[in-house]
Amino acid sequence: MSTSEPEAVTVTLVRGDITRQSVDVIVNAANSSLLGGGGVDGAIHRHGGPEILAACRELRASRYGKGLPTGRAVATTAGRLDARWVVHTVGPVWSRAEDRSELLASCYRESLRAAAELGARTVAFPAISTGVYGWPMDDGARIAVRTVLAEAVAPIEEVRFVLFDAHAYTTFEEVLSARG
């Protein structure tokens, strides 16, 4: 684990499975259907139980009839996870032809905003869009760290990036230490 405290918020890196974290908010790298998928999304629904999917179905039946747009975030129960809420956000699919960085930054910003509104102090993020959605890890890590350092405000005290493998962990560590 490595830690850096450039601002009020503490940014922490952990290698592991985000569904095993004890935090106020676990952020889900969802897809716009909100009805489950692979990667982080699959793990969250598998370990969190059916309460999360039920809450997502309610969102589809009400506020998000067409699905959650890319770059936006919405909170539900965390079901059986050791967290108070899951904040679902939809990352952009990486594109060589089009710069979608602002949408990826928006995922972190909107998730932090939702978490702060709920009163969360601790928030765990995966490396959004760096799995099935194909975002290069180094660029994804730069956007993640930069946005969190700029946007995390009280009552958020700790933002924890939970990185699934050694490559992701090392990349985030390099990006974070480069920021001093």
Residues serving a catalytic function are 41
Residue 180: how many CB atoms within 10 A of its CB?
A: 6
CB of 8 to ligand ADP, least distance (A): 25
In 3D space, the residue among 51, 52, 37, 47 whose CA is nearest the CA of residue 16 turns out to be: 47
In 3D space, the residue among 68, 171, 70 whose CA is nearest the CA of residue 129 turns out to be: 70
CB of 132 to ligand ADP, least distance (A): 4
48 lies in the binding site for ligand ADP (CB under 6 A): no
128 lies in the binding site for ligand ADP (CB under 6 A): yes
Please say whether the beta carbons of 66 and 50 come within 8 A: no
89 lies in the binding site for ligand ADP (CB under 6 A): no
| Beta carbon nearer to ligand ADP, 5 or 102 | 102
| Beta carbon nearer to ligand ADP, 8 or 144 | 144
> Contacts with ligand ADP in 137-166 (CB under 6 A)?
162, 164
Residues that bind ligand ADP (CB under 6 A): 17-19, 29, 38-41, 43, 91, 126-133, 162, 164, 168
